[in-house]
């Protein structure tokens, strides 16, 4: 049996390097696998080599698989995206996205969300497709003075009352945030990622705006990884306990740190957003152990296992 890997031990961070997931799967230690999508399964445009086959093999082993993603889109949209890229949605128990959590919480009687009000500045996507707020009963406003809170789904545009989106540069959106901070209104960010992998390039994500708002003194509600709420939701969906769960992701700050917070084991995929930091030039390159160790310490996020890519 494969030795159990601890998350951390005194000053030495322990992880086991793998060449593929077959060895780990065959231990049958984990009933549920919580999988990030961007940087693990695909790059937003196409599946990574071996990803579809690896998913099928995991499913054949009896593993329950749940997509947990910081996507600002709802779970159903995420599953359709996977289908369009050639993945079989029936292999998954379901998907939990930060966008779905945001939508659900905006509809609930949670005291913090109920206190937000209904008028919001909406930062969304343009080229990637604006996100609908239908069914939430919100009033999108353009004037900061009319806003009670900020809702951030994207980094490309300002949502308009008509439902359309006005494309804006990141600097323009940050200028609006400065006005919001002066008014002391809270922000809900529906995608905590700072960047994501898209066609082998890094794209700025809503978490960057949220981090900027916090630096301005604003209050931010982060919906998604690394908060353990998304892992708890995934465990509830799969009907498992932390000891039966393992998370797979490419972001140390979001995926691995979140798994640490949820007290579950994790697999760090080095071919994703940290590839450049690790000195990797080609897909599937093996990262130097000491480089992974140093990067894990930098982000204070400690994987149980390290793998070049999501392969069998």
Structure tokens at 86: 């050639």
Structure tokens at 217: 């003194």
Pairing of strands 119-124, 139-140: parallel
Task: Report the mean per-residue pLDDT for the chain.
Answer: 92
Angle at 246 between CA 280 and CA 192, to 5 degrees: 65
CA distance 249 to 231: 13
Write the DSSP string, 192-228: --SEEEETTEEEE-HHHHHHHHHHTT--EEE-STTST
DSSP bridge pairs for 265: 246
Domain 116-222, CATH homologous superfamily name and number: HAD superfamily/HAD-like (3.40.50.1000)
pLDDT of residue 129: 83
* pLDDT value at 241 more than 90: yes
> For the residues 262-287, what does the mean pLDDT come to?
95
Q: Tell me: the pLDDT tens digits for 207-228?
A: 999 999 999 999 999 999 999 9
* pLDDT value at 2 more than 60: no
For residue 197, the tally of other CB atoms under 10 A from its CB is 23
Cβ atoms 232, 262 nearer than 8 A: yes
Q: Tell me: the pLDDT tens digits for 122-137?
A: 999 997 788 989 999 9
For residue 280, the tally of other CB atoms under 10 A from its CB is 19
pLDDT of residue 108: 79
* pLDDT value at 11 more than 60: no
* pLDDT value at 285 more than 70: yes
| DSSP H stretches of helix in the chain | 22-25, 51-60, 75-84, 98-107, 111-114, 170-183, 206-215, 229-238, 257-262, 289-299
Q: Which CATH architecture has domain 16-100+226-307?
A: 3-Layer(aba) Sandwich (3.40)
* pLDDT value at 181 more than 60: yes
N residues, the chain: 312
What does residue 64 show for φ and ψ, rounded to 5 degrees?
-90, 125
Q: What percent of the chain has pLDDT over 70?
A: 94
Residue pointed to by tokens 């070049």: 308
Furthest CA-CA distance within the chain: 62
Q: pLDDT band for 3, please (50, 70, 90 cuts).
A: very low
Residues of the chain with CATH 3.40.50.1000: 16-100+226-307, 116-222
């Amino acid at each position: 049996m494969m030795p159990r890997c601890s998350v951390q031990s005194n000053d030495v961070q322990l992880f086991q390097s793998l060449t593929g997931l077959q060895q780990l799967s065959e231990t049958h230690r984990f009933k549920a696998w919580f999988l990030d999508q961007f940087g693990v399964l695909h790059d937003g445009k196409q599946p990574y080599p071996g990803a579809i086959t690896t998913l099928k093999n995991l499913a054949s082993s009896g593993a329950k698989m749940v997509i947990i993603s910081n996507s600002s889109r709802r779970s159903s949209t995420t599953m359709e995206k996977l289908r369009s890229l050639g993945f079989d949605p029936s292999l998954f128990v379901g998907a939990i996205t930060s966008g779905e959590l945001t939508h659900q919480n905006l509809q609930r009687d949670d005291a913090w969300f109920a206190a937000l009000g209904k008028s919001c500045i909406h930062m969304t996507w343009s080229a990637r497709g604006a996100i609908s707020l239908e069914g939430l009963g919100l009033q999108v406003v353009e004037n900061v003075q009319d806003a009670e809170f900020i809702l951030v789904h994207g980094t490309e545009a300002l949502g308009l009352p008509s439902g359309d989106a006005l494309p804006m540069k990141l600097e323009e959106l940050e200028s609006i945030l400065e006005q919001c901070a002066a008014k002391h209104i809270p922000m809900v960010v529906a995608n905590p990622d700072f960047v994501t992998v898209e066609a082998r390039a890094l794209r700025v994500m809503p978490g960057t705006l949220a981090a900027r708002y916090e630096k301005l003194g604003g209050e931010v509600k982060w919906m998604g990884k690394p908060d353990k709420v998304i892992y708890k939701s995934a465990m509830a969906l799969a009907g498992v306990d932390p000891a039966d769960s393992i998370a797979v992701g490419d972001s140390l700050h979001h995926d691995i740190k979140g798994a640490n917070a949820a007290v579950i084991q994790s697999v760090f995929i080095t071919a994703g957003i940290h590839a450049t930091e690790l000195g990797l030039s080609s897909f599937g390159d093996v990262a130097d152990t000491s480089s992974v160790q140093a990067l894990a310490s930098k982000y204070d996020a400690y994987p149980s296992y390290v793998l070049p890519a999501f392969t069998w």
